[in-house]
Amino acid sequence: MTKHASTTPLQRTKARARANCALDWHRWHPTFTLGEKLCVVCGQYAYCPRCQSRLPSDARLMPCALHRDEERRRREDT
């Protein structure tokens, strides 16, 4: 008799999390660097273009909470 390769609950959870990253549904976590976030699933970095003066060439741009609120307020005023 041969055993079927079955996936464990942890493997299924990891696969779902990676699929979410592929759909651009990352789990962002702030780092200790101003304006920088890290996806805890896939390891991708995102940077706030207003906080960082020198961005990496392959940077994913995402405004931080402070600048996102400023932009939202500016749009509401106009």
* Residue-range domain boundaries for the chain: 27-77
| Per-residue pLDDT tens digits for 26-45 | 899 999 998 999 999 888 99
Claim: this prediction has a pTM higher than 0.75: no
Nearest Cα residue to 44 out of 64, 21, 23:
21
Reported as a single tens digit per residue, the pLDDT across 39-77 is: 998 889 999 999 988 888 888 898 888 888 887 888 888
CA distances from 69 to 35, 43, 62, 77 (A): 14, 26, 13, 12
What lies within 8 Å, CB to CB, of 45 at 6+ separation is: 36, 37, 38, 39, 56, 59, 60
